[in-house]
A = this chain, B = another copy of it.
Amino acid sequence: MNSQGLLEHLEAHLLAHQADIERWLRLEWQKTPAPFYASVDLRNAGFKLAPVDTNLFPAGFNNLNSETLPLCVQAVQSAIERLHIAARGILLIPENHTRNQFYLENVATLRDILQTAGYEVHIGSMLADLKSVHTMTLPSGRNLRLEPLIREGNCISVKGFTPCIVLLNNDLSVGIPSILAELNQKVIPPLQLGWSNRLKSSHFSYYKQIAHEFSKQIKIDPWLIDPLFRNCGEIDFITKEGYECVADNVEVLLKDIQAKYTEYEIPHKPFVIMKADSGSYGMGIMTIHSANEVLLLNRKQRTKMSSTKEGRKVSQVILQEGVYTFETWGEQQAVAEPVVYMIDHFVVGGFYRVHTNRGINENLNAPGMSFEASAFINSCITPDKDMAPDANPNRCYAYGVIARLALLAAAREY
């Protein structure tokens, strides 16, 4: 089969096997319950649809279409009543960003979802210099009230409010802060899922296994949904220690990708994405087309690769098959990639991450990106067999299936 028809084939295949897929997923969630929430970045190359990043402390809820709010509310109710039936109050702990208005809007949206779901919600800040309540007015006109955390014994609170549940929207890149350690309260997601404990390579090892199991169920080549990857041991971008290993693995990986491209008569040039093995916010990510490129990185490029969020040093990288995105948005034909949001094991919405100044083989999670949610209104869970396989609700359904496979990988990680 040539590349043109591959993805439509995949979408039609997922649609035809919907009852089997949903049943298989239900049984998997029973074995390994889904994390509380997640967002998954996907790349849709036409001939291939694959996850490239799974965030277990998702920001960006403010980018979802407001019409998906009821789905978020219902999913939160369903999830939390299973985690702690008698809970009444939730303490939401965000990242320590105080000037990133986009992020703060996300916190406000999360608070609104939890409140609408029927919980009393306070936002407890880990900012060291926050000594009293700090209220901000956001661009949306909403207020955000940050309260200093109080730790007493094995219990965390803010003044006048002791929650049953502590909900983290902080990815713990810098490790587990002592104020959160060994709490008696229910902490979701569990501290062990913080980025200080996670490796992308481990996530994608689990994903590979799941992609194989899933592909066996519905009889497809797992490569259609699984990005190849390799990783090395320690690497130092400044001293160039470990560089040879990276270059060697890039070469092997490019050959492996080319072999699949040849098999499917795909006329594109293989590429590799090199990224920090633990980290987020789209930092420390590069597109590479040859082993030589690694060896010839200049100082500026190496400095950029060497640290990620909050200055954390990168000492391990994952080399991942680059997946082209052939999706575009708007009259400008801006390059776009889908991002799917889940609460518990329910797909609740998503959007296209759009970038006008990036190529189809580049990371789009970079300054200048924007978000387009209109194609995702409620439709990831309403496939329609009477429509074409690539019609919007059916394509969104396919996104939701692949995103949930990545979510399952995260569930197995834990």
Contacts and interface: CB of A to CB of B under 8 A. Distances in A.
Interface string A59-89: 0000000011111011101100100011111
Contact of A88 (B23, B70, B378): B23
Interface stretch (A14-22, A144-152, A230-238, A298-306): A14-22
A74 to B, nearest CB: 6
Nearest to A89: B19
Contact of A378 (B22, B67, B77): B67
A27 B164 CA distance: 15
B88 A381 contact: no
A324 B232 CA distance: 74
A198 B273 CA distance: 64
Interface in A73-122: 73-75, 77-78, 81, 85-89, 115-120
A74 B70 CA distance: 10
Contacts of A381: 70, 73-74, 116
A367 to B, nearest CB: 32
A346 B77 contact: yes
Contacts of A115: 385
B69 A23 contact: no
Contacts of A26: 81, 85-86
Contacts of A75: 74
A-side interface size class: 35 or more
Nearest to A120: B19
A132 interface: no
A73 B120 CA distance: 27
Contacts of A18: 118
Interface string A247-288: 000000000000000000000000000000000000000000
A217 interface: no
B70 A19 contact: no
Interface of A: 18-23, 26-27, 29-30, 67-71, 73-75, 77-78, 81, 85-89, 115-120, 346, 378-379, 381-385
5 closest pairs, A vs B, by CB? A22-B118, A70-B378, A19-B120, A23-B88, A78-B78
